[in-house]
């Protein structure tokens, strides 16, 4: 069941347990210099043709490129109409909250305005990247011992969460390096102080080898939404996959990602959305192409979550038990 005022999203004409998970494209794969992103119609045409049902875009990444000179509200409405032409939907958006901005007067009003724009685009949730204070960047999680700072973070997470719920939006705090969720112990303490659901971008833990134990399991148990990117354990945060079918059969990064995510997918995601977020980083050159090639993996995760939401247990203990690419 969703935590707090988060709802099970999707088709309201179906019971919550029968609402299928959707697959969406995130900002990052779509943000590069690519012929498929030259115009918004080209990008949305690629998105629809690749099998996504929708997107998780934000105006800072999309608006300036495709709607130069327009007000944010006009750009939001134009993006929504463009998505509808391609039978796509904006399910939600990721918002970035920097420590120094939150310390300024009026930050909460600006945050509410951003969330209202997400609603204008048709979105039903916000996922928050809450940036670490500069003093704690690259310190190996030293902030986990600063109870005053953790309480300050939790207080502001609670303010953002409550503001989202007041607007009728689902709220997720994203797991991410250089954010207040990067350290599992600190993340769990913040979740104690400001209970909320997590956007489990678990590649950030997988790449650093954080794959087991009570702390990681607790984070996964709070997962109500997810971003998916292939990561190499103790290696690339954004790993290339030349042949996804062969990689799956060889128990490579695709299989490892699925196995790691299973606990978080149990019971279904309240967002009912699996977001592909392959990035142009490390050995990934064609982010948009690789993400599209991974849509079958995202669909397999969606199928697993659909079954679990209906009380059906799927045993996936071998690559032969589930073949995303046939």
pLDDT score of 67: 95
* pLDDT (tens digit per residue) in 269-304: 999 999 999 999 998 999 999 999 999 999 999 999
pLDDT at position 1 over 90: no
Q: Is the C-alpha dihedral spanning 274, 43, 231, 227 positive or negative?
A: negative
pLDDT above 70: percentage of residues in the chain: 100
* The pLDDT of residue 33: 86
Provide the pLDDT confidence category of residue 85 given band limits of 50, 70 and 90. very high
Task: Calculate the average pLDDT of the chain.
Answer: 97
What are the pLDDT digits (tens) for 144-187? 999 999 999 999 999 999 999 999 999 999 999 999 999 999 99
Kindly tell me the sign of the dihedral angle through the C-alpha atoms of 40, 42, 43, 48.
positive
Q: pLDDT tens digits, residue range 21-40? A: 999 999 999 988 899 999 99
- What the chain holds in terms of domains, given with CATH numbers, is 16-321 (3.20.20.150)
Please give the pLDDT value at position 10.
Answer: 97
Percent of the chain with pLDDT over 90: 97
pLDDT band at 75 (very low <50, low <70, confident <90, very high): very high
CA distance 278 to 187: 24
Q: At residue 94, does pLDDT exceed 90? A: yes
pLDDT, tens only, 110-146? 999 999 999 999 999 999 999 999 999 999 999 999 9
């Amino acid at each position: 069941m969703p935590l707090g005022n988060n709802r099970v999203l999707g088709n309201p004409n179906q019971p919550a347990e029968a609402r299928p998970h959707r697959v969406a494209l995130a900002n990052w794969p779509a943000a590069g210099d690519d012929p498929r992103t030259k115009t918004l119609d080209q990008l949305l045409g690629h998105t629809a043709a690749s099998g996504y049902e929708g997107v998780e875009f934000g105006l800072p990444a999309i608006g300036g490129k495709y709607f130069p000179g327009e007000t944010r509200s006009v750009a939001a409405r134009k993006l929504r109409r463009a998505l509808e032409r391609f039978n796509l939907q904006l399910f939600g958006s990721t918002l970035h909250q920097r420590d120094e901005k939150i310390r300024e007067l009026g930050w909460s009003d600006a945050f509410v305005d951003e969330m209202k724009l997400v609603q204008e685009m048709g979105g039903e949730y916000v996922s928050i990247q809450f940036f670490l204070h500069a003093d704690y960047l690259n310190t190996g999680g030293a902030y986990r011992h600063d109870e005053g700072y953790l309480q300050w973070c939790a207080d502001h997470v609670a303010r953002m969460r409550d503001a989202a719920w007041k607007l009728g939006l689902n709220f997720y705090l994203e797991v991410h390096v250089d954010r207040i969720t990067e350290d599992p112990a600190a993340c769990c303490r913040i979740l104690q102080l400001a209970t909320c659901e997590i956007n489990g971008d678990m590649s950030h833990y997988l790449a650093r080898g954080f794959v087991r134990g009570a702390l990681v399991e607790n984070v996964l148990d709070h997962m109500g939404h997810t971003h998916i990117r292939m990561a190499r354990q103790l290696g690339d945060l954004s790993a290339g996959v030349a042949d996804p079918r062969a990689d799956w059969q060889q128990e490579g990064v695709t299989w490892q990602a699925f196995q790691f995510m299973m606990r978080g997918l149990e019971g279904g995601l309240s967002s009912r959305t699996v977001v592909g977020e392959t990035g142009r980083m490390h050995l990934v050159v064609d982010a948009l192409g690789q993400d599209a090639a991974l849509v079958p993996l995202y669909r397999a995760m969606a199928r697993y979550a659909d079954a679990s939401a209906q009380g059906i247990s799927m045993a996936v203990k071998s690559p032969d038990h589930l073949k995303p690419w046939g």
